Structure 1
Amino acid sequence: MTVMRVERRDHVVELTADDRLTFGRARDCTICLDPEDTGISRVAGAVAYDTGTWWLSNVSETRPLSTVDDLGFRSVLAPGRRVAVESLTKVLVDGSHHRHGLTLTPAATTAPPPAAVTPAPGTTPTATGAEVMISAADRLAMTALFMGYLEDPPRYDPHPKDYAAAASRLGWPRTTLVKRIEYLRTRLDAAGVPNMRGFNALANLAEYALSRGLVTREDLAALPR
């Protein structure tokens, strides 16, 4: 039974629990990324099943890997480390010539929904901003600004777009986009959501929107071509 799917462009490898996949510069890797690019380790990483879990391992002695979770957040996987793969995960491998990407998709598993947590009597619930209404225009504005988090490699870029570029993609005046996002941040701040003001407020809004599912990869289809 196939329990892990690994994709690179049009190359798809389906793994079972008895398989081990390697990727890197070496031609004898399961997936050879670029045999001429010495910026990639001969064997950069491996995907294997162990003790009931799929793991991505960085088997290089010198080069880090990057992982991107299903929300679009990036993490660094240092040499010699491994990380469990429990949901769709993208792997980024930087070479001297190009950035290469793999997509790991474990078989869907059914788990019971998390139990609702009821605040103890006399306590104040954590502010999440759930009461702030997000309009279709708000969602479109955030999608244009944060699309880099949602794109596949090589277009993946975990930073907000500049206002001018995002407004141009939407066909809006820059001031319209700025005012909409500032009003959204003001409402979230008033609802108790932290870090909606200050120097890094736009990146904090991106993290909030992605982690709450306010914008997803499916929203990219709504952007004007």
Structure 2
Amino acid sequence: MRVESGGQALTLVDEDRLTFGRAKECTICLDPGDAAISRIAGTITREGDVWWLTNASTTRPFAVADEYGFRSVLPPGRRVAVERPVTVLVDGSLAQHDLRLTPPSAPLPAGEPVAEPLTPAVPTEVGAAVVISAADRLAMVALFAGYLREPPQYDPHPRTYAAAAARLDWPRTTLVKRIEYLRARLDEAGVPGMTGHNALVGLAEYALSRELITRDDLRLLR
């Protein structure tokens, strides 16, 4: 297991046990002066062939973001198997701390990924009638960039239409119409969550889980 945090990288093997938290005795001390962080916030251990991330605190949860950018909360006393790369997010009173976990079965980071150009059209897995155009993808990257960014820029919430349109130098109405038309087509094809007050979150989850947009696409915003 490879663990990266605060500019340092550690490799755990076999019976190694890693701890992280406020205590100076932790393998990774996040901030010894921040009382909002548990003395031992969590541990990483191996049982058999499985690496486990455990919330060792008795009072404070922390978050885990998967490779798609989806965030879940790990309550005190609970643990989760680390089978794919994840980012652990520990909130303090002064800053948010992150640890990047890469299990042995996953490819290790090898520098910045090379961005591939947008293809003219990408068929979805819902139906051949629904096609995601290059402009559709660009609009989604602008809206959902927060899901794709690494901490501390990581933010698992859609941006506003106005902010996303400004990032692309598009009129707001152009972006709204494109996204609404995309949601309507996906809804007609049977994709759930494309309507209602939470429709943008539903579209984000669909696009990220189907890898219609990925971290590589962030380069398109530069």
Listed as ranges, the gaps of 5+ residues in structure 2 are 108-123
SS in 1 for 2:98: strand
- What amino acid does structure 1 have at the position aligned with 2:78? R
What code does the residue aligned with 1:148 have? G
How big is the shift at 1:41?
0.4
Matched with 1:55 is: 52
Q: From 40, 50, 53, give the equivalent of 2:37.
A: 40
Tell me, yes or no, if the aligned pair for 2:90 and 2:96 is still in contact at 8 Å: yes
Q: How far is the alpha carbon of 1:51 from its aligned partner?
A: 2.4
Match of 2:76 in 1: 79
1:170 equivalent in alignment to 2:168? yes
Per the alignment, residue 145 of structure 1 pairs with 143
2: CA distance, partners of 1:78 / 1:55 = 14
Give the partner amino acid of 1:61: T
Q: What is the CA–CA distance in structure 1 between the aligned matches of 2:132 and 2:2, rounded to whole Å?
A: 35
Question: Deviation digits for residues 88-140 of structure 1, max 9, x if unmatched?
Answer: 00000011111111100012369xxxxxxxxxxxxxxxx95242111111111
Q: State the SS of the aligned residue for 2:99.
A: strand
Instruction: Quote the residue 1:220 is aligned against.
Output: 218
SS of 1:134 mapped into structure 2: strand
d(CA) in 1 for partners of 2:190, 2:33: 52
Aligned equivalents of 1:12 and 1:187: distance in 2? 45
Q: Is the 8 A contact 2:3 2:10 kept in 1?
A: yes
The aligned amino acid for 1:49 is: R
Aligned-pair Cα RMSD in Å: 1.5
User: Is the contact between residue 144 and residue 169 of structure 1 (CA under 8 Å) also seen in structure 2?
Assistant: yes
**CA–CA separation in structure 2 for the residues paired with 1:153 and 1:130:** 35
Q: Does 1:180 align with 2:178?
A: yes
> Would you say the 8 A contact 1:128–1:192 is kept in 2?
no
Partner of residue 204 from structure 1, selected from 202, 205, 222:
202
Q: 1:130 to 1:177 in 2, by over 3 A?
A: same
Look up the SS of the partner of 1:86 in the other structure: coil
Quick one: distance in 2 between partners of 1:204 and 1:109? 27
TM-score calculated relative to the size of structure 1: 0.88
Identity across matched positions, percent: 64
1:172-222 per-position Cα deviation (integer Å, ceiling 9, x unaligned): 111111111011111111111122111111111001111111111111111
Q: 2:44 touches 2:51 (CA, 8 Å); kept in 1?
A: yes
1:11 to 5, 8, 31: 8
| Aligned amino acid, residue 159 of structure 2 | K
Contact persistence 2:83–2:105 (CA under 8 A): no
